[in-house]
Chain A
Amino acid sequence: MIEMPDTLKFHFDVDGSDFSSAGEASVVVKKKLRQLGYPADIIRKVSIAMYEGEINMVIHANGGTAEVEIHENEIVIILSDHGPGIPDVNLAMQEGYSTARENIRVLGFGAGMGLPNMKKYTDYMKIDTKVGEGTTITMKVYL
């Protein structure tokens, strides 16, 4: 594939050991998209989807990496981790399904709405996951 010269790429390491930093990458991406002048509804979609995914990597997978690519026609978000993987993706996609314990819920997360929300706010979402190896979630928002 020939790369568009105007493709912008961002890479983030998402720290899984420090909950207080969870969401930092999404804040940076939101700021960048604002600076670049994207419409508010596009920015909100990307922000919410990436933020939910970033939080998931911290609370379920001990951190990972986030790549954001801004192409001419789409914004692509790739979240990869080496966490436990998701045994039953269909179940995990159900609204309200969560394996989060009370220690996560007191932090304000674990309602089981993250994955459905990521699907809702993006135009494309693919989950590659293997138990014991990790999870890669690719999301796209079309421009």
Chain B
Amino acid sequence: MTVFAVRGRMEFALMKIHEIKEILGAELLCGDESMDSDVYSACCSDMMSDVLAYVKDQGVLITGLVNPQVIRTASMMDMICVVFVRSKTPSDEIIKLANDCGIVVMRSTLRAFEACGLLYTAGLSRLPGDRNA
């Protein structure tokens, strides 16, 4: 399953990483120092091949896949945050790699569909003007 969302055209409405954590009720696993970083888009996929082929400037990767390639793929794509859904728990090795790559990692009990829906509803993927539409 692959869902993409790009927020903004000329203007960018940004969401802070800590907002994403709050909206998803997620648990932070690493990257405390980047909680104030901004993102304006996200993508959701369990296929890293699709992320490499289709993602443009999405800053957040939501996935149910857990392996080191999730972090490496995010890093290659200049993404700054990975959210593992369905309570998937990355190993210490994966967290160490994420720390090394400067990537924030969170874990959420939500399913991917719900996580995407909540972020979308909160405004990620929409222009600021129609945020409350």
Complex: A110 Cα to B48 Cα, angstroms: 9
Q: Say whether A55 faces chain B, with CB atoms less than 8 Å apart.
A: yes
Given that A30-B75, A48-B76, A48-B77 are contacting pairs, would A23 and B49 also be in contact in the complex, using a CB cutoff of 8 Å? no
- Does the CB pair B78–A108 fall under 8 Å? no
B78: chain A residues within 8 A (beta carbon): 40, 44
Given that A108-B67, A108-B70 are contacting pairs, would A51 and B52 also be in contact in the complex, using a CB cutoff of 8 Å? yes
Q: Say whether B47 faces chain A, with CB atoms less than 8 Å apart.
A: yes
Q: How far is the CB of A37 from chain B (nearest CB, A)?
A: 16
Complex: A29 Cα to B79 Cα, angstroms: 17
Name the one of B53, B72, B77, B100 contacting A113, with C-beta atoms under 8 angstroms. B53
- Does the CB pair B50–A111 fall under 8 Å? yes
The count of chain B contact residues (Cβ–Cβ below 8 Å) is 22
Q: C-beta contact mask, B60-76 vs A, less than 8 Å → 1, else 0? A: 00000101111011011
Q: Is the interface of B mostly helix, strand, loop or mixed?
A: helix
Q: Say whether B46 faces chain A, with CB atoms less than 8 Å apart.
A: yes
- Does the CB pair A113–B76 fall under 8 Å? no
Q: Say whether B101 faces chain A, with CB atoms less than 8 Å apart.
A: yes
Complex: A117 Cα to B50 Cα, angstroms: 10
- Does the CB pair A114–B73 fall under 8 Å? no
Between A and B, how many residue pairs show CB distances below 8 Å?
A: 69
- Does the CB pair A44–B49 fall under 8 Å? no
Complex: A40 Cα to B77 Cα, angstroms: 10
Complex: A26 Cα to B68 Cα, angstroms: 13
Q: C-beta contact mask, A107-126 vs B, less than 8 Å → 1, else 0? A: 11111111011000000000
Q: C-beta contact mask, B67-104 vs A, less than 8 Å → 1, else 0? A: 11110110111100000000000000100010011000
Q: C-beta contact mask, A68-112 vs B, less than 8 Å → 1, else 0? A: 000000000000000000000000000000000000010111111
Q: Say whether A8 faces chain B, with CB atoms less than 8 Å apart.
A: no
Complex: A112 Cα to B47 Cα, angstroms: 11
| Chain B residue nearest in CB terms to A104 | B49
Complex: A111 Cα to B48 Cα, angstroms: 9
Given that A27-B101, A40-B78, A109-B48 are contacting pairs, would A20 and B68 also be in contact in the complex, using a CB cutoff of 8 Å? yes
- Does the CB pair B75–A27 fall under 8 Å? yes
- Does the CB pair B52–A117 fall under 8 Å? yes
8 pairs, A vs B, C-beta closer than 8 Å? A20-B93, A27-B101, A44-B77, A52-B52, A55-B69, A107-B67, A108-B47, A108-B69
Binding site for A on B (CB under 8 A): 46-50, 52-53, 65, 67-70, 72-73, 75-78, 93, 97, 100-101
